[in-house]
Structure 1
Amino acid sequence: MTIRAVVKGIGHYLPERVVPNSEFEKSLDTSDQWIRSRSGIERRHFVAEGETTSDLAANAARAALDDAGLTPDDVDAIIVATSTADNTFPSAATVVQAKLGMEKGFAFDVQAVCAGFVFALTNANALILAGQAKRVLVIGAETFSKLMDWNDRGTCVLFGDGAGALLIEAQEGKGTNEDRGILACDLNSDGRHRDILFVDGGVSTGTVGHLRMEGKEVFRHAIEKLAATAHAALDKIGMSGGDVDWIVPHQANLRIIKGTAQRMQVPMDRVIVTVQDHGNTSAASIPLALSVGKERGDIKPGDVVVTEAIGGGLAWGSVVLRW
């Protein structure tokens, strides 16, 4: 028998404050139509004063545990994908561990920016296959509103805050593509392109810094690399776009999502799209979209799902799983 990392529960959390595009018209040379036409974004959520990334992550984790019918004591490990941890250290994951009241196991963060959840899920899968953990909470959580330059209309209108969590557990399979769980993963990075998407702060400057992005360059790389990594993961298990029930991409830009689906020859009615409601929530975007897709009855047991993301680094990757 083959061990598979199977989805046991899922959940998400969004801050209460909803920010429509029209709110930016008060302070920037922009408009609702301009933002929608370039990104597909209509609104996003921002955290309240004092609300942290670990708060969002813990709430999403609780929702995933409730969905699975389990408690924190049933979990062996927590991995949080984030670029906006509450502090330089300790990790957001250990803070979440404490907030959940989980006194055993281990917790750590993964930092791959918008690709963070894919990297975290791949690491969680490896832990389960290696026998290091039976159940792992994989969380993507971000408060990107704290990194925005509110005078830069090219970036500040694109991002939002939120969290999503996936609980995976070890189950036996037959070793075929008919198994439930993670079937294939593909990870990549290329540090030569680090300057097209970065934050100009950190320990080297003593400041938090602001997000900086060369939008056209990021767009070009995203279309090419997202389709390539999805095909690479599918090729590993002898599958193609025609075998996919749902693509759940990183929710950065509607034009990127459409372009990637076209390259994969998958129609848009088989793509989960939430960017209009959440904006770009970085590492949180895929688990948020997965949770919404499951909640509204789109993603069903047995469906083949491809997740794909690209972020600063550049770092990009994909995971193929059967729900």
Structure 2
Amino acid sequence: MAQLTYKELLNAGVHFGHLTRKWDPRMAPYIFMEKNGIHIIDLNKSLASLDQASAFVKGIARSGRKIMFVATKKQAQEIVSEEAKRLKMPFVTERWLGGMLTNFPTIRKSLKKMQNIEKMLSDEKTAANLAKRERLMLDRDRIKLERLLGGVTDMSRLPAALFVVDIKREHLAISEAKRLGIPVIAMVDTNSNPELVEHAIPANDDAYKSVSLITLAIGKAIEEGIMERKQDKEAAELQEAEEAKKAADAKKEAAAEKAAAQKAVADAKAEEAAAVAPAEKAEAPAATEDDEAPKKKRTRTKKEVTAETPAEAPTESPKEEGDKA
């Protein structure tokens, strides 16, 4: 986190407050002294408050949430809008529209309308079919909406916090944020009530150098939070990849162990079968011819069957007996 020094704050005129007759008594703890009718802000208190505010916005940015920059006073518009654009944060540097936070759905409709107008005008075919007067009116509406809502075009949801340059001037924004419970970080001059915001940074909110220095310090803290979020994301992805690799290696190792175990069982069974086979062969008795005889059933020939049949005596016929008589 970028640390500002006492001398840097002094050179930027952060210590200059308002006329003593315009002061808010609730700023007394942050006032160092009175000089020539002007209150001088205690820069040690400013440094401490800035460190706390920076740590707070850094944490919000690290969580991936948005911080809205609000500064409609002329001397703050340029630096605030540039820093917000650089950080890709929403911002309001023109007039604060009532309900920008409390009636956000309506604001989103206006944003959609602006986008539709831009789409119509950018399409040559559609633009050619429009009457000249109608095209001029649409272009006028687009310019107006872009001026008022250009800084919140990409804001899809309410911001997590507000950074405000002058809480007295931006009282509407402070009021809406308070109603919604949105914390506010703000530059608070001696004419303002620091109790209206969660993180008050006592500082000169009128001088360009002072506004620029504080805004850039807050922007630096937000940038660090964004970078840390990116690093956290990369570390998480790396860890996830390592865990996936470990899981794959463990699965592969388990599969190899299972295959080895199955092979060992198969080898053991094969060895056991090889040992049992010779023993069974040795114990079996040798087969004899008589044992094999019944098994061999030979088919006898007709000649052999005839030879084995006994010869029968021939029978004389009655005719032959009569002749003999």
TM range, normalised to the smaller chain? Answer: under 0.3
> TM-score, normalising length from structure 1?
0.22
Larger strand percent = 1
> TM-score, normalising length from structure 2?
0.22
The structure that has the greater radius of gyration is: 2
